[in-house]
Structure 1
Amino acid sequence: MSIFYSTFHIAEEPVLSVLVLLCALVAVILAGYLLIKLKDDRKTNRIVLITLLALFFLVGLFWLKFTPNEQLSDFATFWGKSQDALQGRAIYKNDNDYFAKWAYQTGYLVYVMGVIKLFGAHVLVLQVLNVVYQTLTLLVIYKLAMKVFDNVKIARLSVLLLMIDLDWFAMSPQNNNSYLGTLLFLVTFYLLMHDKYWQYMLAGLTLAMGNIIRPIGPVAIAGIIVFALVYKFYDKKINLHNILKLATTFIIYLAIFSAVGMAIKSSGLNEYGISNRDSEWKFVTGLDYNTKGIYDQNVVDSIDMTQSRKKVSKQEYKVIHEEIKYLNDNNKWIPLFWDKLAIMWANRSSAIDFANMQQNHSQKVIGFVNLISYLGTVLLVIFGWVGSLRLFKISYNKNIFLLLLPFMAYVAVQLLIEVQGRYRIEFTPIWAIISGVGLYSLCNWINLKWGKKPKCLN
């Protein structure tokens, strides 16, 4: 219910929010209906896909023009430290600085350094690359939907729902690692849906690069392993070929990931490679009932961050034990999880805040953009509910679980660690596919009632 509460109160006039939501629902259903009425042949499918991708790319470039270039928060750190590193300056001063305790972020820092080395210190280059990665993500979502459902209309609608979700693509002005990382993980899933050894080898490369760029690889790996155990390794008898193919993926993943870590160490850029030396911090914030698991400066100030990593780690463990005791003693685990689920998956994300529009637009414009942005999330949730229910009735390839299991692992992990609404963008593309099923079902139902009878999902 929190998603509807947020929708009704995000604008100054709740009634206006309701009217805009209803208009958006009608407009998207109408657009979806037109898309499913188009012919299903090779030429038409190619024209439709290219049109959707080109339209999104142009809107993405307009968004860059509409928002300022200033980098904020972690993204400002990436931008500043990458130039420091290129000029031979250290990226941290002590073992409790940003890149010392979260050395795994050095992977993306190297990417930013490479872009600057090739094109100069122009943040616009990184921004345009983000739009390119988003456009390619739409293409991969189309391919994934086709692979799972073998239905071009669901694929079209999945692309439509993702491309209109401003909450998803709003952070392209920031040199953030989510878009490239997400693209690489989705390509990994697509490759693993095939059967050739070279595809599994390439999946090891994309999985490693995805985790180096955006270090959420463990949840993807967890989902892949569970999928393999249930659907790949065992099919009436143990399938040794599938075991060998997946082993090849993980061997290549480990080899590349380790090699990059050692290369960063030996280069002198970061003596800690791409390790995580402060995994405790995410739990310090994530288990704080008072802040509902969100980053809070008061929590930061409660710990003396000027001390060494070893001493700070002890403080963090102490805070974690205190928070767990409080949650146990007061039976607050379920309320905490409920609030975190709402923040992560239902409430307005902070994507528009990171677009920094207050610098060059009025509060009225910002309020309207916030409303439009959040409506994309609301539509995904509404159609996602319908799509989730339809999955019990329709036929689909078992490869859908290669998408859903990492998604479920990510949801579970977020219950324990720090949450921010903007973190949902990594798995929004997968949710868009489920929402595409929901929108297709509604459009199909409309066609059954008032149009010519279409070919239904089995």
Structure 2
Amino acid sequence: MDIGKASSAGKWIARLLAACGIALFAWMLWHSFASASSYFESGPLTVLLLTAGSAAAVLLLLGFASRYAGRGVFLVVVLAAAISARLIWIVTVDTQPVSDFLDMHSGALSAASGDFSFGTNDYFTRWVYQIGFTLYEALIITGFGTDLIVLKLFNVLFQAGTVVLVYLSAARAFGETGGRAAALLYAVYAPNIMMCSVLTNQHISVFFFFLGVYVLIRRGLGGKADWIAVGLCFGFANLMRPLGSFFVIGLVAYIVLFKLLPGFRERKWIALAVKTAGAVAVYFIVQQSASFALVQTGVILHPLSNQEPYWKFMIGLNPDTNGGWSYDDTVYVLQFPQGEERNRAELELLKQRMADKRQVGALFLSKAKSMWGAEDSAPMWSIPEQNRPALQKKLIQTERVQYVLLAFFGLIAMTVMAYRGASAEASIFVLLLLGYAALHIVIEVQTRYRFDIFPCVFILQSLGAAVLLDTFKRRPRGANEAPSVRS
């Protein structure tokens, strides 16, 4: 098993990131185990047994696949299982769009009929960056009709594509076994399956964000057009869901920490810096071009930008909702005209909430516990207002055991990476995950938001599964043999 090669200068950075990763995965394991225990009558013992059984099943499947299934066969089987499970879900569970999903779908129906006046209504005037996904839905509706099942089928396709990207990325970072472990667990993760029936912009954005990341780690921008591809992927993904700035910052941090600093004395750093700047430029060109076109055609009134830059932070520091969405906050800010006056009101409330440092510190811990330890909200979004409590309970129990297993494998992976070092290709996923966790300490949290970064979790935990499998394989040959993990 090979986790790649890292320069001596970059190895200590990788180890430092992995040490922070140990803290995050330990936090996830501790709080998710406690949460999971509350959903079973026998409590911790049941969770422990189910997690151990699940781990054994995963390792047995991986061992069987490594012996009898080649790369192509494995991918076909996993994709078939992933697509089948999602098709069954979207056919049997009639999820109707609600909340923001309803606003965007209603706008898409209008756009498909040639009416773009929705772009100037209260919702899209306030959250103008949602227009990109709305127009994507309108394009699908125009081509294939208004039945919701069509949009859900595209969700399935993008998730299937993400399964492949998770496999390729983990295989690049940790070897073939790692790729298989990541793809297998991503394919069967219950919240992923459930969210396929929800008309969220996360399916398409996750695919393109992580397509950009894979292009980045495949050759480190070494290809002639890699920098263009990364910029285009991040740029298009951001039009679907506004997380582009986060991934662009991650791109720059990765290049600086793992490419430029270790190779600063080499002349090739100049070319790499230029390509990185080019990727960022392409990203911004995509944003500005789309924004200019939509404003000039009258579809939207304002450029594609965040019209309320303090909103997410103001909500994220609300102790009454534990940093979650607040109806009272919404009512409060809507009394002010959109623009500078509303922004000043939000900033003032934000400052008030930051005044009590002790309360803010306690809120940060509580938010981290909720964001990384609580049950996923996928059942709430996929089967709302449906009288199926037994199904919902089973789904939550399944998700809780799967989450504990992911955290357990992830903790092993971070420990191995901290001890032995890791490649830049592996470390970028730690960097992104830690950055995302840090960001959600201060902004609004929902467990649904884990979906956007969870490919990193599946990729990283795959090393833990691979290490355990390698350990069990070697045991009959000698207890003192250690798995081969080069860095």
TM-score norm. by structure 2 comes to 0.86
In structure 2, the residue matched to 1:10 is: 39
Asked if 2 retains the 8 angstrom alpha-carbon contact of 1:133 and 1:183, the reply is yes
Identity of aligned residues (%): 21
Kept in 2, the 8 Å contact 1:166–1:374? The answer is: no
Range moving further from structure 2, 199-208 or 305-314: 305-314
Matches within 5 A, 1:332-411: 332-356=359-383, 358-359=385-386, 361-394=387-420, 396-411=422-437
* 1:36-51 equivalence runs, <5 A: 36-39=63-66, 44-51=70-77
Describe how 1:48-63 pairs up with structure 2 within 5 A. Answer: 48-63=74-89
Q: 1:351 Cα deviation (Å)? A: 1.2
Q: Is the 8 A contact 2:120 2:301 kept in 1?
A: no
Alignment of 1:94-243 (within 5 A): 97-149=122-174, 151-193=175-217, 194=219, 195-234=222-261, 235-237=263-265, 239-243=269-273
Match of 2:288 in 1: 258
In structure 1, distance between residues paired with 2:54 and 2:406: 14
| 8 Å CA contact 1:282, 1:417 repeated in 2 | yes
Q: Distance in 1 between matches of 2:256 and 2:264?
A: 13
* Distance in 2, Cα, partners of 1:115 & 1:426: 22
Specify the SS of the correspondent of 1:270: coil
* TM-score, scaled relative to structure 1: 0.92
Higher relative contact order (CA 8 A, sep 6+): 2
User: What is the rounded CA distance, in whole Å, between the counterparts of 2:156 and 2:271 in structure 1?
Assistant: 39
Contact kept in structure 1, 2:376 and 2:396, CA below 8 Å: no
State the number of aligned residues. Answer: 448
Partner Cα distance (2:169, 2:298) in 1: 40
Distance in 2 of aligned mates of 1:162 and 1:222: 26
Q: Which moved more, 1:206-215 or 1:308-317?
A: 308-317
Q: Distance in 2 between matches of 1:134 and 1:22?
A: 30
- Whole-angstrom distance in 2 between the partners of 1:232 and 1:395: 16
Q: List gaps (5 residues or longer) in structure 2.
A: 1-29
The one-letter amino acid paired with 1:232 is: K
1:33 equivalenced with 2:51 (yes/no): no
Instruction: State the shift of 1:369 in Å.
Output: 1.5
- 1:448 has 2:474 as partner: yes
**One-letter identity of the residue aligned with 1:187:** L
* Structure 1 unmatched ranges of 5 or more: none
* CA shift for structure 1 position 30: 2.5
Amino acid at match of 1:154: G
**Quick one: which of 251, 274, 285 aligns to 1:244?**
274
Asked if 1 retains the 8 angstrom alpha-carbon contact of 2:426 and 2:460, the reply is: no
**Alignment partners' CA distance in 2, 1:8 and 1:264:** 50
* 1:286-365 paired onto structure 2 within 5 Å: 286-305=316-335, 307-325=337-355, 327-328=356-357, 331-356=358-383, 358-359=385-386, 361-365=387-391
Q: Are 1:185 and 1:210, in contact at CA under 8 Å, matched by a contact in 2?
A: yes
Q: Is the 8 A contact 1:286 1:416 kept in 2?
A: yes
TM-superposition CA deviations, 1:139-178 (whole Å, max 9, x none): 01111112112x1111111112222221233211111111
The answer as to whether partners of 1:167 and 1:374 remain within 8 angstroms in 2 is no
Aligned residue type for 2:214: Y
Runs of 4+ in 1 over 4 A off after TM superposition: 450-455
Question: Which deviates further from its counterpart, 52-61 or 155-164?
Answer: 155-164
Q: Give the AA of the match of 1:376.
A: Q
Cα distance 1:392–1:84, how it changes in 2: closer, same or farther (>3 A)?
Answer: same
Q: CA deviation at 1:345?
A: 1.5
SS of 1:279's partner is coil
Partner of 1:419: 445
Question: Residue 69 of structure 1 aligns with which residue?
Answer: 95
Query: Counterparts of 1:452 and 1:127 in 2: how far apart (Å)?
Result: 50
Distance in 2 (alpha carbons) for counterparts of 1:105 and 1:343: 26
Residue 300 of structure 1 deviates from its aligned partner by 2.1
Structure 1 Cα separation of the partners of residues 463 and 153 of structure 2:
30
Q: Report deviation, 1:285.
A: 0.8
SS at match of 1:91: helix
